[in-house]
Chain A
């Protein structure tokens, strides 16, 4: 069985026109890079917003030249909070790991020429792009950006301008943007699932899939089941705002001394619908990072992933449980204590598969001759942040403790560490790991190490102190804490956090410079610079238009065969035949 047999199937030649090649491309690799660049723009905006938030929190009286009165109003601060959260969660943490790297590498890693439905793939990116345009547009409409947080709770969001300057046109733009984002994500998820099920190369059984593919696959299932619910909720909210319905607006509501004419709805209905999406969304953001961490840890430990099957089952268990714990975001909403108990137990149960993953990562590292490359550093950082952020989750999962900690900086610290920064470290690990394959050049090692160490220390300096001010009772979303007596002693901590945030933000410029400089000037990358085993490392860097130049691979072994006794090299690519390995049965 030679690979020549497949060469007969010719996959269409690459388009040559600029528009078809780079703009409305059907090639999953181009679409993956488009997603990645979109996320890069979005994360830059998100970081700039957080810099302004930190400036204001540390020095509330500071005059900012671009603001009308010079001073930031509380509403403007809330707009920053809202847009920072929304842009980061949707347009960075959801698009980069899944739409970006998933799009680029899932088809190659399973030995397919492209996604199952390339046109749908293109549509999903451009829908997401239009969604982003609407989100950014919210800054520039009358009243400015919405101020209701990324969770967008009604009735604040359901009544229009009467509840705040950004709740007019800005809020409408927000909902439209998120609705479009849902549609784009659903199309993407459909493609990922069909591709993984039906386009695997011969021999690529489910238990031979790289853990990255498993993570993208389960993430796509979560996205498929979750985003439809958010879309439905968004449509109902839009109707409440514009058509006079009362899905989320209670009777007898008085806002700004005006009795609202709506009746009988409940803001809690929104909370249930939103968090039914919102909790799986957390795993949509973090699961791809887990896949990348497993992949990178194994490669640079030169050891197989410890407990591959357990890792697969843990990914599935986390995905499954993720749909049953949304109530833990609502412990203080007045829910029945019995419901709270059920949600609490289910939430704590997620600790089991999470611990399986963590211990298996440590098992992979155990006794290894670790190669401390830049992607490896970021993968190790991922594990560290995942543990640090996960441990505070155990506190928040208990209703009695959450009563106190809810809406404090403790929560901010928790979700930033586990969902924000850990996922970002997964993205960075993926970027440094796959950059040679995507752009055919190596990234600069020294700049990468500088970027890692300052970012790693920086994020701990930013988010660790937030646990303590949270425990001391500092509420989140306060624009200015200097006027509150019991918060005044905590102000120096805010200043420290802000300085750490500025340093961490500044060092991201090193990453940006390294990224774009290396695309042009980095040393040429060989086919397999990391001596890795999966299929993307068997093709040229960057891969040809159909990924395999017509020679579609056949897979003979699992994804992590490192240091196999008796083999010539310390790694065996998945497509090597037993004869080629030089092993006799």
Chain B
């Protein structure tokens, strides 16, 4: 371990940011391009607070989604195993038809959030607010639709403990609904006030990543429930 600084070391020093003024403070963005228009406000916003590079928030949401994915995959593997048992007593549960409509609503909300972020990138504040609120509204409509689906099952006499298939139906929809509701809280929070540590570009990106993930997760669960015949 000779402590000689080689050319390779020098290159690494440059690559890992010795020449950068520390920690990406002053706007080492996350590469999405959204920060550039807000570079000026970024420095001022974070003075007086521990400076955390914006990309940490993107890392954070990616890591959080990995954990959430593991949570749901545990439930899904339990579903598959439980279904496959001999004498499982499993009866196929026909999912309420309103789920098709809910799924369309949620897919639409993924499209509107993309439009909202595009408006933000074009500095069209009112357009951003319109599409962002529309996304939020679609999210609430989806949750309402899920509750309706529960009511329909309830009227049909299908409860949590009726059959393993209904148990899993309620568990999947409830777990997804709770996570989606968290996404709605995030959407509203971004809309009503400027986040303290994040630029608006990062905040909307974090919320959008989460939202798309919840959308994709629902499509997966939806297919699982429908194809689980």
Interface, chain A (partner B; CB < 8 A): 1, 5-6, 9-12, 112-114, 116-118, 186, 189-191, 193-195, 197-205, 224-229, 231-233, 235-236, 239, 243-247, 251, 263-266, 269, 272-273, 276, 304, 546, 552, 554, 556-558, 560-561, 564-565, 567, 572, 578, 581, 583, 585
Contact among B3, B22, B77 for A9, CB-based, below 8 A: B22
Interface residues of B (CB under 8 A from A): 1-5, 12-13, 16-25, 47-53, 55-56, 59-60, 63-64, 66-75, 77-78, 81-82, 85, 87-90, 160-161, 164, 167, 171, 175
Which of A9, A113, A263 is in CB contact (< 8 Å) with B89? A263
When the two chains form their complex, are residues A244 and B3 in contact, meaning their CB atoms are under 8 A apart? Answer: no
15 residue pairs from A and B, CB less than 8 Å apart: A9-B25, A186-B67, A189-B63, A193-B59, A197-B59, A198-B24, A202-B17, A228-B67, A229-B70, A231-B74, A246-B89, A276-B74, A564-B1, A564-B2, A567-B3
Q: A11-B51, A243-B161, A565-B2 are in contact. Are A225 and B66 (CB under 8 A)?
A: yes
CA distance A128 to B130 in the complex (A): 40
Please pick, from B13, B67, B81, B175, the residue contacting A269 in the complex, using a CB distance under 8 A. Answer: B81
State A12–B64 Cα separation when bound (angstroms).
27
- Bound Cα distance from A201 to B67, whole angstroms: 27
Contact residue among B1, B48, B49, B164 (Cβ-Cβ distance under 8 Å from A264): B164
Residues in A with CB closer than 8 Å to B81 are: 266, 269, 272
Given contacts A263-B89, A546-B50, contact A190 B2 (CB under 8 A): no
Do A235 and B22 contact each other (CB < 8 Å), given the known contacts A228-B67, A228-B74, A561-B1?
A: no
Give the distance to chain A from B150, nearest Cβ to Cβ, in Å.
Answer: 14
Max chain B Cβ within 10 angstroms of own Cβ: one of A265, A558, A572: A265
Known: A564-B1, A567-B3. A198 touches B53 (CB 8 A): yes
Q: Is the CB of A556 within 8 A of B67?
A: no
Give, as a whole number of angstroms, the nearest-CB distance from B99 to chain A: 21
Q: A225 contacts B70, CB within 8 Å?
A: yes
- A572 to B69: give the CA distance in the assembly, Å: 43
Q: Is the CB of B67 within 8 A of A227?
A: yes
B70-A264 in contact (CB<8A): no
Query: Do A244 and B161 form a contact, CB below 8 Å, given A202-B22, A273-B74?
Result: yes
In the bound assembly, the distance between CA atoms of A415 and B198 in angstroms comes to: 45
In the assembled complex, which residues on chain A have CB atoms less than 8 Å from the CB atom of B90?
Answer: 264
A567 closest partner in B (C-beta): B3
Determine how close the nearest CB of chain A comes to the CB of B57; give it in whole angstroms: 8
Interface pair B5/A113, CB less than 8 Å apart: no
Cα distance A266–B73 when bound, in Å? 18
How near does chain B come to A522, taking the closest CB pair, in angstroms? 30
Q: Which residues of B contact A273 (CB under 8 A)?
A: 74, 77-78
A198 B55 Cβ-Cβ under 8 A: yes
Shortest beta-carbon distance, A580 to chain B, in Å? 12
Given contacts A117-B60, A232-B71, A264-B164, contact A205 B16 (CB under 8 A): yes
Inter-chain contacts of B72 with A (CB < 8 A): 232
Q: Tell me the total A-B contact number using a CB cutoff of 8 A.
A: 176
* CA–CA, A227 and B71, complex, Å: 8
B85 CB to closest chain A CB, in angstroms?
6
Known: A247-B82, A554-B18. A198 touches B59 (CB 8 A): yes
Q: B48 to A190, Cβ gap below 8 A?
A: no
Q: How far is the CA of A199 from the CA of B55 in the complex (A)?
A: 10
Q: Once the chains are docked, how many angstroms separate the CA of A243 from the CA of B5?
A: 65
Interface contact A265-B49, CB-CB below 8 Å: no
Cβ contacts under 8 Å, A246 to chain B: 89, 161, 164, 167
Interchain CA distance A490-B56 in the complex, whole Å = 58
Residues of B within 8 A of A9 (CB): 22-23, 25, 51
Cβ contact within 8 Å between B167 and A239: yes
Please, which residue of chain A has its CB at the minimum distance from the CB of B43?
A: A9
Supply 15 further A-B pairs (C-beta < 8 A) apart from A9-B51, A113-B50, A228-B68: A9-B25, A116-B59, A202-B22, A229-B73, A232-B72, A232-B74, A233-B74, A236-B75, A246-B161, A247-B167, A264-B88, A264-B90, A304-B1, A561-B3, A581-B3
| A330 vs chain B, min Cβ distance (A) | 14
Asked if residues B56 and A243 are in contact (CB atoms below 8 Å), the reply is no
The 9 A-B pairs with the shortest beta carbon distances in the complex, nearest first, are A244-B161, A228-B71, A232-B74, A264-B89, A228-B70, A198-B56, A229-B74, A245-B167, A202-B18
* Interchain CA distance A5-B48 in the complex, whole Å: 17
Is A224 touching B67 in the complex (CB atoms < 8 A)? yes
* Cβ contact within 8 Å between B164 and A224: no
In the complex, the answer to whether B67 meets A189 with C-beta atoms within 8 Å is yes
Instruction: Report the bound CA distance from A11 to B15 in whole Å.
Output: 25
Which of B20, B59, B68, B88: most chain A CB closer than 10 A? B59
Contact assessment for B63 and A224 in the assembled complex, using a CB-CB cutoff below 8 Å: yes
Contacts of A112 in B (CB 8 A): 23
Q: Is the CB of A194 within 8 A of B59?
A: yes
A268 and B69 CA atoms in complex are apart in Å by: 22
Q: Determine the distance from Cα of A553 to Cα of B21 in the docked complex, in whole angstroms.
A: 11
Q: Are B161 and A245 in contact (CB under 8 A)?
A: yes
Chain A residues with CB below 8 A from B4, complex form: 583, 585
How far, in whole Å, are A581 and B173 apart by their CA atoms in the complex?
62
Our pick among A5, A189, A229, A556 for the contact of B71 (Cβ within 8 Å) is: A229
Determine whether the beta carbon of A264 is less than 8 Å from that of B50. no
